[in-house]
Structure 1
Amino acid sequence: MPNYTSVEVCAGAGGQALGLEAAGFDHLACVEWEPAACETLRANRPAWNVIESDLRDWEPAPELIGVDLLAGGVPCPPFSIAGQQLGRDDERDLFPEIVRLAEALQPRALMIENVRGLLGSKFADYRDEIVRELKELGFEHCGWELLNSADYGVPQARRRSILVMMRPEAAFHFRWPNPQDEQTTVGETLLPYVAEWPGAAAWSQHALGIAPALVGGSKKHGGADLGPTRARARWAELGVDGRGLADAPPGPETPHDHQLRLTVPMAAAVQGFPPDWQFQGRKTAAYRQVGNAFPPPVATAVGQAISSALLQADAEED
């Protein structure tokens, strides 16, 4: 399968970009405004073209026009309950910028990720407006889909809305990815991170469920904890203290009955990041990058579906 090209916007710490890379996409640019997240991208992928900019101020270079895929995870607060669901009236809503860039870049496909709240009836008219504007630019609507990360190898019940639109010749071939047959548990995911702890095996056998969605919060709200009261209660059922993060995993001297807390690398593993992905910045800033990320395995699954559709369209053209 050939490698297709992509431009990633609102790239964050690279969850979607990393997943699309695994699906065979070569990133021509990764646009992100948060300095710590940009440092994470540069530290892990020095060859990537990381552009540190507010999306509203970014004008694509001419060589990016005609890219195969425009992808991104626009800010979630305008559509989340925690963000008061102000939608288009929220200054953080960047969907208009996606439409602007779709016109400027003329990609063959778009993949935009957001919170599940965007699919609520409250935003039905806004979703229709976005689709209508993109159709006017020559794209076909492949659908808004709600995908649960737990269905794609991520040990977390993280449901995200995904919009895919493509040029008509490729849209005809697009099919949403099928869920995997088995889910991955928190215990089996995190066991390698706590292997030196004498209580690791017993804890892992207890933590056989799926975690609630990690919450990264924003600079204005939230710290380095695993979410609101309900989420922390679910973490407690898995043998994890969700009231904060640890600086290091439990070691050989840690008591068997230790109440486990996640480290930033452990939280990243729950999001589906590989162990070698290093987050830059202090603990809270690094965890915020993790908690706000789009799980790479889900991006890979959708990216492979997009790549397959493009490939079939190219084969028909040949």
Structure 2
Amino acid sequence: MQKIISASNFADIMGVSKATLQKWETNGAFVPSIDPAGRKFFYVEKLLGVPEISDMVQSSWEEEMQVNPLRSYTSIELFAGAGGLALGLEKAGFSHILLNEIDHDACVTLQYNRPEWRVVEQDVRTISFKQFNGKVDFLSGGFPCQAFSYAGKQGGFNDTRGTLFFELARAVKEIQPKVFMGENVKGLAAHDGGRTLETIRNTIAELGYTLIEPRVLKAIFYQVPQKRERLILVAIRNDIADKVQFKWPDPYHRIMTLRDAFFKGELYDTDVPPSEGQTYPLKKQKVMELVPMGGYWRDLPLDVQKEYMGGSFELEGGKTGMARRLSLDEPSLTLTCAPAQKQTERCHPTETRPLTVREYARIQTFPDEWKFAGTLSSQYKQIGNAVPVNLAYAVGRSLIRLFNDIESL
């Protein structure tokens, strides 16, 4: 593991704001050192009492990279999008026999990059999975987060009708895979006062599966240069569940930054290739030119702040996504479906422009040869909605290890 860690990356590891880290420093909880350029950093050896840091130092990452499937494990994926999850799981060793997605451009993307995959472009509600009963090892899907009806007191399978989680549950019921996985936004855990997740738990139990306690995984821990968090649900069929144990992936030894994403190094063999991207209107460009690397609207001159922010200037809250320029020395903020929305600005660290398609793709750890179909805005949307490939790969290795244990029974 690296010997030092920047203050901003330490804040990301801890999941706190820079303001909170500043409070900790003031209280003497963590004392930073200062480099010649005036930047704060910490010596890793002084942080070994912090569980997140000791986990990175003692990680079994290299060992986990050696995990290979004992045989070809078959997989079906619903809501496949542009293939971030599918690609990561394939790298880990799964063989996809069917991928379902309703978005046309995303289907073209999948088919173009993997002509051998069977991609079904249709509404999941119209697909029967009964032909796969007992023939598929694994099922996965990133279902959208939707409110349930709670007709029953407990909330279960029937209460999820009309939602896309119901379709994932129906596929589980029809296929009976050994294991299935759902992934979602971090907010699902607290959605509707926790009732949404409670209903999902009840449904999984009703289906005859044992849910591993869900976890929010931070992509920055798994070789992804982006502060994205995903809630992962893994469930094992009851006849197998008590005989095996699922182990979550260990973190990588360091945090990847935009420097890793855009330049030749540990993540990529070359600098980021040129590609098309959005541009700023002249007026906005003039404003963004005034924002320093890693800065946002509060770093603008006061008169420019007031004009740019308009009515939002007087409102409470940080609005830290507005007029935001990313930093080469930090992971990117979570990518959205468009790189130049006012609320969630993602300006290039050193050039005054939105990120290009290939820069977007690298932040999501797609390989450079993975091409996206459709209009420019469709490509951004496909990439922004994806599960980061390296996060999927890390979870995939944990799942392959689980399947190897099941195979050995």
Confirm or deny a common fold (TM above 0.5). yes
**Is structure 2 residue 254 aligned with structure 1 residue 179?**
no
Decide whether the 8 Å contact of 1:13 with 1:37 is kept in 2.
Answer: yes
SS of 1:163's partner is strand
Residue aligning to 2:148: 88
**Aligned mate of 2:131, from 62, 80, 86:** 62
Cα distance per residue 1:283-318 (max 9 Å; x no partner): 001110000111111111111111111211221x2x
Aligned 1:114-193 pairs, distance under 5 A: 114-120=184-190, 122-168=192-238, 169-170=240-241, 172-191=244-263, 192-193=271-272
SS of 2:184's partner is strand
- Unpaired segments of 5 or more residues in structure 2? 1-68, 150-159, 264-270, 275-292, 294-326
1:11/1:121 CA distance change after superposition, 3 Å: closer
**Aligned mate of 2:358, from 226, 248, 265:** 265
SS of 1:193's partner is coil
- Unpaired segments of 5 or more residues in structure 1? 79-86, 196-202, 217-223, 241-257
Large movers: runs of 4+ above 6 Å: none
Residue aligning to 2:349: 239
Letter in structure 2 aligned against 1:208: D
Structure 1 residue 88: deviation in Å? 2.2
Residue aligning to 1:248: none
Aligned 1:6-17 pairs, distance under 5 A: 6-17=75-86
1:15/1:226 CA distance change after superposition, 3 Å: farther
CA distance in structure 2 between the partners assigned to 1:140 and 1:189 by the alignment: 38
1:148/1:284 CA distance change after superposition, 3 Å: same
CA distance in structure 1 between the partners assigned to 2:162 and 2:365 by the alignment: 26
Decide whether the 8 Å contact of 1:170 with 1:309 is kept in 2.
Answer: no
Letter in structure 1 aligned against 2:83: G
**Is structure 2 residue 297 aligned with structure 1 residue 225?**
no
Aligned alpha-carbon RMSD (Å):
2.4
**Is structure 2 residue 167 aligned with structure 1 residue 97?**
yes
Decide whether the 8 Å contact of 2:130 with 2:175 is kept in 1.
Answer: no
SS of 1:161's partner is strand
Cα distance per residue 1:35-77 (max 9 Å; x no partner): 000000000000000000111111125146431111011124x
* Count of aligned positions: 272
**Aligned mate of 1:40, from 109, 123, 131:** 109
Aligned 1:13-28 pairs, distance under 5 A: 13-28=82-97
Letter in structure 1 aligned against 2:339: D
**Is structure 2 residue 406 aligned with structure 1 residue 292?**
no
Percent of matched pairs sharing the same residue: 34
Letter in structure 2 aligned against 1:37: A
Residue aligning to 1:245: none
Structure 1 residue 123: deviation in Å? 4.7
Decide whether the 8 Å contact of 1:214 with 1:227 is kept in 2.
Answer: no
CA distance in structure 2 between the partners assigned to 1:214 and 1:148 by the alignment: 14
**Is structure 2 residue 331 aligned with structure 1 residue 210?**
yes
Structure 1 residue 263: deviation in Å? 1.2
Larger Rg: 2
Letter in structure 2 aligned against 1:266: E
Letter in structure 1 aligned against 2:349: G
1:215/1:285 CA distance change after superposition, 3 Å: same
138-147 or 21-30, larger mean C-alpha shift = 138-147
Cα distance per residue 1:203-252 (max 9 Å; x no partner): 9xx61111110112xxxxxxx325553x42xx45x626xxxxxxxxxxxx
Structure 1 residue 188: deviation in Å? 2.2
Letter in structure 1 aligned against 2:185: V
CA distance in structure 1 between the partners assigned to 2:354 and 2:161 by the alignment: 35
Structure 1 residue 136: deviation in Å? 2.3
1:91/1:63 CA distance change after superposition, 3 Å: closer
1:296/1:170 CA distance change after superposition, 3 Å: farther
Decide whether the 8 Å contact of 1:214 with 1:226 is kept in 2.
Answer: no
Structure 1 residue 275: deviation in Å? 0.7
22-31 or 62-71, larger mean C-alpha shift = 62-71
SS of 2:221's partner is helix
CA distance in structure 2 between the partners assigned to 1:273 and 1:4 by the alignment: 23
CA distance in structure 1 between the partners assigned to 2:215 and 2:341 by the alignment: 25
Structure 1 residue 160: deviation in Å? 0.8
CA distance in structure 2 between the partners assigned to 1:109 and 1:18 by the alignment: 18
